[in-house]
């Protein structure tokens, strides 16, 4: 639950602070405070700061507009300008820039002691972080030690959470993307500092929509706890948060989000979390779909997610599709690919031939070969249903 800029400003409204532009950014999350005197110190910003400047130390050839642009592009949350002998007024071009980019710019009189204002901000941010840590810890106990209610329920009930509300866990995976070739992309986890920065931004965007929502990092996921929503509303909340987060992402960072199973008890949150992670992995690794996915839309794959014994899934794959994969491995063929395409096109040989750029006779030959290896008739609905389930089960082996 990041502190919004607007909430901080309210705590110092008796100082004569005045918003001169960028009203649309008042909900920006604030992580800390920073003093900037010139372009060099503006480069030290990490994102999420409320920035103070007096103009002291600013090079003559550097305008306030240039400094404001630099601060904005380093993802600060807002700028407070101390009006006095060094900066006498805010130029119109700065106000225009702040309005165009929803970047709040404030002024405070010169006689205001900035250290006092900064101390008020720091205290509010620290208090908020303490509350956030308490809630995050309680929910982590709920996810990993649900039977030990004494570890999390007192804190959660104190914060207004009920044992028997409907809860949904949304998982968001932010990964660095390295393109090796057009058909090969490597994804890697973010470093801890980058995770911390993006969590503040994400949390603020979620809080703007749902006051009682909580977000925290766990297992390289941003975990968001949502209560009393349906999937449609959940997708809207996560999509809005992703749109806000996109402003702060680097070009090589990609985002994947999924909603887990909705549960009716807070002690069952771990099941929503587990299915949310499975849905995200399946959507990313198998479907390669960056849109927000829901466990409830996973169909047969979602049903198979509920088989928690990996050996059972593996045994089913051995019974159905593994003989084809083993044949391909030994004979350097692509029968498994043909089978997948045949299943996805509902048994249409012509569509398989078009997809694979081969003659339909070639497809027919390979289909007969598959039938021979498996000793089945692919025109039989029951056989095709089992093989489709086997293909999906094989995919799930990849995401487990």
**Residue 68, Cβ density class (10 Å: 0-12 exposed, 13-18 middle, ≥19 buried):** buried
Q: Which residue has the tokens 């932010």?
A: 174
Give the pLDDT confidence of 229-251 residue by residue, as tens digits.
999 999 999 999 999 899 889 89
Q: What average pLDDT does this structure show over 301-317? A: 91
**Residue 386, Cβ density class (10 Å: 0-12 exposed, 13-18 middle, ≥19 buried):** middle
Q: What average pLDDT does this structure show over 16-34? A: 92
Cα–Cα distance between 9 and 27 in angstroms, integer?
A: 11
Tell me 287's DSSP state: I
224 SS3 class:
strand
Q: Which of 226, 167, 398, 374 is nearest to 304 (CA)?
A: 398
Beta strands in 247-397 (DSSP E): 253-259, 293-294
Give yes or no for residue 398 having a pLDDT over 90. no
Cα–Cα distance between 339 and 352 in angstroms, integer?
A: 9
Give yes or no for residue 400 having a pLDDT over 80. no
| pLDDT number for residue 331 | 96
Class of domain 3-120: alpha beta
- Where are the chain's structural domains? 3-120, 162-304, 310-399
Averaged pLDDT score across all residues of the chain = 92
β-pair partners for 82: 108
Give the pLDDT confidence of 152-162 residue by residue, as tens digits.
999 999 988 98
Give the pLDDT confidence of 62-89 residue by residue, as tens digits.
789 999 999 999 989 999 999 999 999 9
| pLDDT number for residue 1 | 57
Cα–Cα distance between 236 and 332 in angstroms, integer?
A: 46
| pLDDT number for residue 167 | 96
- Decide if 47 contacts 248 (C-beta within 8 A): yes
Class of domain 162-304: alpha beta
293 SS3 class:
strand
Say which residue, 2 or 269, is predicted with more confidence: 269
**Phi, psi at 5, each rounded to 5°:** -55, -40
What secondary structure does DSSP assign to 301-321, as a single string?
A: HHHHHT---HHHHHHHHHHHT
**What is the pLDDT confidence band of residue 150, given thresholds at 50, 70 and 90?**
very high
Out of 3.60.40.10, 3.30.56.10, 2.60.40.1180, 1.10.10.2840, select the CATH number for domain 310-399.
1.10.10.2840
Give the pLDDT confidence of 187-218 residue by residue, as tens digits.
898 988 889 889 988 988 898 888 889 999 99
């Amino acid at each position: 639950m990041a502190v919004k800029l607007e909430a901080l400003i309210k705590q110092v409204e008796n100082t004569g602070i005045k918003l001169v532009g960028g009203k649309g950014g008042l909900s920006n999350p604030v992580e800390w405070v920073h003093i900037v005197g010139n372009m060099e110190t503006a480069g030290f910003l990490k994102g999420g700061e409320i920035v103070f400047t007096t103009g002291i130390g600013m090079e003559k050839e550097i305008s306030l507009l240039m400094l404001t642009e630099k601060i904005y592009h380093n993802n600060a949350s807002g700028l407070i300008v101390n009006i006095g002998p060094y900066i006498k007024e805010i130029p119109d071009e700065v106000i225009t820039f702040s309005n165009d980019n929803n970047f709040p710019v404030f002024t405070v009189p010169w006689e205001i002691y900035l250290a006092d204002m900064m101390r008020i901000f720091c205290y509010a941010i620290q208090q908020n972080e303490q509350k956030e840590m308490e809630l995050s810890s309680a929910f982590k106990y709920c996810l990993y030690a649900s039977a030990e209610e004494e570890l999390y329920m007192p804190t959660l009930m104190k914060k207004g959470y009920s044992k028997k509300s409907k809860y949904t866990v949304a998982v968001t995976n932010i990964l660095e993307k390295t393109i090796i070739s057009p058909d090969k992309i490597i994804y890697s986890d973010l470093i801890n500092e980058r995770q911390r920065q993006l969590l503040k931004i994400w949390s603020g965007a979620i809080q703007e929509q749902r006051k009682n929502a909580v977000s925290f990092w766990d297992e390289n996921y941003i975990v968001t706890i949502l209560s009393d929503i349906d999937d449609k509303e959940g997708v809207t909340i996560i999509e809005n948060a992703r749109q806000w987060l996109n402003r702060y992402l680097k070009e090589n960072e990609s985002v994947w989000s999924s909603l887990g199973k909705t549960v009716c008890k807070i002690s069952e949150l771990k099941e929503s979390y587990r299915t949310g992670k499975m849905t995200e992995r399946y959507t990313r690794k198998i479907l390669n779909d960056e849109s927000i996915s829901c466990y409830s839309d996973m169909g047969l794959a979602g049903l198979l997610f509920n088989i928690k014994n990996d050996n059972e899934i593996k045994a089913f794959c051995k019974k159905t599709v593994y003989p084809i994969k083993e044949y391909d491995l030994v004979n350097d063929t692509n029968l498994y690919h043909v089978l997948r395409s045949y299943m996805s096109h509902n048994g249409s040989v012509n569509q398989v031939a078009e997809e694979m750029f081969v003659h339909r006779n070639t497809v027919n030959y390979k289909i007969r070969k598959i039938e021979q290896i498996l000793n089945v008739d692919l025109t039989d609905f029951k056989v095709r249903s089992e093989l489709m389930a086997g293909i999906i089960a094989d995919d799930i082996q990849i995401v487990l």
